[in-house]
């Protein structure tokens, strides 16, 4: 160091011709540092965010005069979305709406910087394309888990604690908006707990990072490259990004995905309380403005067994501050039944804690696991009854079931007389409320002959489908721009 200091002193005293001077490197400014950080993070993250191609069935599009552009009630539909690799052995999380009613799902890895698949360097241009299996889906959280089989470990990302996320943090959205693969957008956290529907306990991370159709299922990451959420929706009057995007908090994603992988279904924790937010007037009465006010306790349920009462204010859950009822509800349903939690509460101004073992939340028809391998019965594909289907088929407003979208003409179902547009009401004398439930029940039915109750042209009737007359359904053909990949 002393030698260097002497050299510096001498150089200051000796005149040097201008052409012989070496300019010192310009110091990095904050923007340059940010740019380099984002670039490095993008290189690290991109391989673990995939593009998903889904082929299924939906209502035929209508032209400007309202006439169907394709014949038949239901037409083949191709769509794309995004997904995040959750484990190196091939489990991938995405949105349920990306793969809902899909008969075929494929997953494409992002290409490396050289235009090659990092796992298979000989593959040109784009990443490798995998056939994917739907392990399970959860409608309530709009999440699904896929599985692909790869000969080499897949790249993964670290998961953050979404409870630690704060408003104003920089976030990055990775995905495939409008089919444009491997895209990145930058923004901030607009809100950490945005409730979109008043009666829905689901709360979302709101961000102004541009999100568009196709981003669904992609990753929302913090500045350290950790996943804080799964992009799921936008609020827009035009259909494009208006800077109001929503992501499912990764803590909930982790819980749902683990249950889908282990059991194929999702069960949610249940405390057994009715809650009310603390308005300014209530806060003045109870002496606090933070927490969830207990209005009722369900007899015999966990909160009642633990001694919680009406008028208690729940302030913490496992040591973390409870800001409001929605915050508490989301935290509870993110935990599986049987989990023991520590609840802090105020009663008559005095603090106390109690341990509570969560129960199973009452069953909901919105939660279902699904498989897209064979559809329903023998050669039958089904879809949910939408408002358009109900109007087109002139169905009663309270009729529930699954509409048949396709029947293999060589199958036992076709021989039994099932046809496109029939509504499946029962399978083996068990009620069907939606398409996912039909798939689930069909997997449980022993057969070989299945009693099916359907609705057709204003009346219900029974048919018997012979499951022994198997005829594999022909998989949908590849989209033109994806063939031979």
pLDDT in tens, 124-169: 446 789 999 999 999 888 999 999 999 899 999 999 999 899 999 9
Calculate the alpha carbon distances from 121 to 46, 116, 226, 465 in Å. 16, 5, 27, 49
- Class of residue 429 by CB neighbours under 10 A (exposed 0-12, middle 13-18, buried 19+): exposed
Query: What whole-number percentage of the chain has pLDDT above 90?
Result: 35
* Distance of alpha carbon 106 from alpha carbon 150, whole angstroms: 13
Res 272 pLDDT > 60 = yes
The predicted structure's pLDDT at residue 241: 63
Model pLDDT for residues 253-271, shown as the tens digit of each residue? 999 999 999 988 888 899 9
Model pLDDT for residues 318-347, shown as the tens digit of each residue? 999 998 888 898 889 888 899 999 999 999
Confidence band (pLDDT; 50, 70, 90) for 119?
low
* Distance of alpha carbon 119 from alpha carbon 309, whole angstroms: 57
Query: Residues 368, 436: contact at Cβ < 8 Å?
Result: yes
Q: Which residues contact 283 (CB under 8 A, 6 or more apart)?
A: 289
Q: Which residues contact 300 (CB under 8 A, 6 or more apart)?
A: 272
Model pLDDT for residues 297-322, shown as the tens digit of each residue? 888 999 999 999 988 999 999 999 99
Residues 214-239, mean pLDDT to the nearest whole number: 86
pTM for this structure? 0.64
- Exposure pattern of 222-238 as b/e (b: 16+ CB <10 Å)? beebbbbbbbbbbeeee
Backbone angles phi, psi at 75, to 5 degrees: -120, 160
The predicted structure's pLDDT at residue 253: 95
Give the domains, in start order, of the chain with CATH numbers: 43-147 (2.40.10.10), 162-263 (2.40.10.10), 269-360 (2.30.42.10), 380-466 (2.30.42.10)
Model pLDDT for residues 29-64, shown as the tens digit of each residue? 778 888 888 888 888 888 999 999 998 766 555 443
Q: What is the mean pLDDT of the chain?
A: 80
Range among 192-206, 423-437, 441-455 with highest mean pLDDT value = 423-437
- Class of residue 362 by CB neighbours under 10 A (exposed 0-12, middle 13-18, buried 19+): exposed
The predicted structure's pLDDT at residue 222: 93
Query: Residues 322, 292: contact at Cβ < 8 Å?
Result: yes
Kindly state the DSSP code that residue 401 receives in the 8-state scheme: S
Query: What whole-number percentage of the chain has pLDDT above 70?
Result: 78
Radius of gyration of the chain (CA): 28
The predicted structure's pLDDT at residue 71: 44
The predicted structure's pLDDT at residue 358: 95
**Catalytic sites, residue numbers:** 97, 142, 216
Confidence band (pLDDT; 50, 70, 90) for 65?
very low
Q: Please give the residue that has the higher pLDDT: either 216 or 462.
A: 216
Res 192 pLDDT > 60 = yes
20: left (phi over 0), alpha (psi -120 to 50) or beta: alpha
Model pLDDT for residues 366-417, shown as the tens digit of each residue? 333 333 334 577 778 888 888 878 877 889 888 999 999 888 777 788 888 8
């Amino acid at each position: 160091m002393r030698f260097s200091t002497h050299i510096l002193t001498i150089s200051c005293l000796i005149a040097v011709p201008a052409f012989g001077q070496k300019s010192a490197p310009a110091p990095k400014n904050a923007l340059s540092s940010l740019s380099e950080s984002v670039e490095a993070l993008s290189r690290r993250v991109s391989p673990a965010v995939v593009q998903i191609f889904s082929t299924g069935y939906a209502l035929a599009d209508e032209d400007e005069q309202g006439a169907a552009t394709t014949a038949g009630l239901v037409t083949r539909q191709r769509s794309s979305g995004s997904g995040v690799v959750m484990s190196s052995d091939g489990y991938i999380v995405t949105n349920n709406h990306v793969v809902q009613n899909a008969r075929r799902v494929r997953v494409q890895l992002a290409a490396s910087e050289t235009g090659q698949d990092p796992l298979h360097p000989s593959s040109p241009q784009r990443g490798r394309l995998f056939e994917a299996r739907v392990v399970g889906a959860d409608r309530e959280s709009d999440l699904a888990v896929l599985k692909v089989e790869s000969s080499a470990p897949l790249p993964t990302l670290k998961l953050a604690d979404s409870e630690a996320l704060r408003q104003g943090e920089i976030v990055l959205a990775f995905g495939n908006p409008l089919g444009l693969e491997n895209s990145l957008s930058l923004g901030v956290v607009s809100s950490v707990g945005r409730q979109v529907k008043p009666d829905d306990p689901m709360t979302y991370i709101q961000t102004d990072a541009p999100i568009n159709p196709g981003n669904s299922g992609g990753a929302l990451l913090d500045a350290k490259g950790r996943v804080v959420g799964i992009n799921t929706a936008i609020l827009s009057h035009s259909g494009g990004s208006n800077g109001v995007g929503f992501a499912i908090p990764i803590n909930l994603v982790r819980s749902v995905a683990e249950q889908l992988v282990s059991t194929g279904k999702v069960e949610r924790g249940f405390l057994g309380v009715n809650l009310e937010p603390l308005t300014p007037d209530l806060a003045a009465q109870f002496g606090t403005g933070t927490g969830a006010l207990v209005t009722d306790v369900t007899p015999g349920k966990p909160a009642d067994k633990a001694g919680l009462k009406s008028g208690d204010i729940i302030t913490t859950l496992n040591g973390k501050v409870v800001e409001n009822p929605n915050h508490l509800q989301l935290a509870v349903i993110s935990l599986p039944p049987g989990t023991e939690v520590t609840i802090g509460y105020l009663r008559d101004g005095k603090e106390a804690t109690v341990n509570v073992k969560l129960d199973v939340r009452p069953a909901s028809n919105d939660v279902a696991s699904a498989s897209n391998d064979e559809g329903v019965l023998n050669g039958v594909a089904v879809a949910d009854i939408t408002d358009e289907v109900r109007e087109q088929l002139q169905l009663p407003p309270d009729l529930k079931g699954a509409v048949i979208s396709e029947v293999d003409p060589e199958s036992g179902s076709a021989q039994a007389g099932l046809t496109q547009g029939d509504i499946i009401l029962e399978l083996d004398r068990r009620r069907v409320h939606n398409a996912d439930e039909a798939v689930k029940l069909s997997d449980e039915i022993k057969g070989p002959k299945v009693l099916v109750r359907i609705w057709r042209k204003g009346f219900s009737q029974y048919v018997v489908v012979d499951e022994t007359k198997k005829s594999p359904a022909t998989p949908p053909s590849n989209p033109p721009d994806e063939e031979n990949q």
